[in-house]
Every structure is written in C-alpha cells, then in structure tokens.
Amino acid sequence: MPSPPTFKELFRDCQRTAVHLEARDAYSKTDSAFVDWKAGRSIDPAERWAAWHGIVSEAVSRGVEVRRARIVSMPVSEYIRFEHSVTEGLNIAAGERVRWLPRREASDLLIPGNDYWLFDSRLVYLNHFDGEGEPTEPEITEDSEMAKLCESAFESVWQRATPHAEFDVY
C-alpha cells in the first residue's frame, strides 16, 4: 500500500484552489513560536516558517488560489491574537488570502466538525487534534460528497468573513 501524500505533495499537485477552514480557538500551545510570542520575543514569520512560505508561494506562482478562513470566538483567545499577529508576515506574504469570522456570525452555517484543507474541490485533508489542540493523525479522502460539503461550508464562511486587514482582534 503506498503511503499517503505529504502536505508538500498535495500543494505541489494542486492545480486551481487550496482552501483551509479553521474553527478552533487554540492549537498547539507548546509551539515554540507561540511560546516566544507570549514571552514578548520578536518573531520573524518569513524566517520561522520559511518552508510553509515556500510551499504556498510556489503554488500561488503557478496560479493556485490559496484562501484561509478562520472562525473565532469573541473576544478572541490569546492563541488567536498570536495567529492574527503573524498572519500578515506568514500567510499573506506567501500569497494566501485570509478572512476571519466571529463564531456568533456562523451559528446558522453547517460546517464539518474538523478543520480541513480542500484541494481543487476534490481532495479533503482533515486535520484532527486532541483535546489540548495538539495535532493527531490527519485523514485524506477523495469522497465527492465530503468534498462538496467542505466546499459549500468554506464558501458560506468566506462570504461572511472579514478580510484580515479589516479584522481587529483587540
């Protein structure tokens, strides 16, 4: 049985779109960048996440549209303030478009129970986390019904969400 594709391979093989829906208020709280940010140390996103920047910017340079939507509780958690602070230098600098949606404005939307990436409207990469926000084994599926659900959910969030430059976390 062949091993599943790596995240880098998923981006490399993507031709048109890569969209990511995030709906947690915290992720790995032991992440060194988050720990440094909490301690007031300066973080250079381009340096800290050079590999990610390379993966995304390469895809964008081939014409892939990369979008990320984040559903967040208000007031935002400390972790979301951290994410917001690095988004410009990390995600947007690499070519992603990022929007934010307060959770209260998403109450009537049907969204999957897990964060996910959807590549070319057909391949779903489901992110799984434990109760502390630490990543566990992801799941990849090409189930067409799951892909349609994820695409519909993402687009409904995207339409309501606020562009990063206009979203205030304070």
pLDDT digits (tens, 9 = 90+) for 21-44: 999 999 998 999 999 999 999 999
The superfamily in CATH containing domain 7-166 is: Endonuclease Chain A (3.30.870.10)
| Strand partners of residue 72 | 102
Tell me the two tokens of residue 159.
């339409």
CA gap 35, 163 in Å, rounded:
26
**Is pLDDT at 4 greater than 90 in this prediction?**
no
- List the chain domain ranges: 7-166
Average pLDDT over residues 38-53: 92
- What residues contact residue 58 under an 8 Å CB cut-off, 6+ apart? 11, 12
- Give pLDDT, residue 36: 96
- Give pLDDT, residue 1: 59
Average pLDDT over residues 131-142: 93
Condensed to tens digits (0 to 9), the pLDDT of residues 70-86 reads: 999 999 999 999 999 99
**Is pLDDT at 125 greater than 80 in this prediction?**
yes
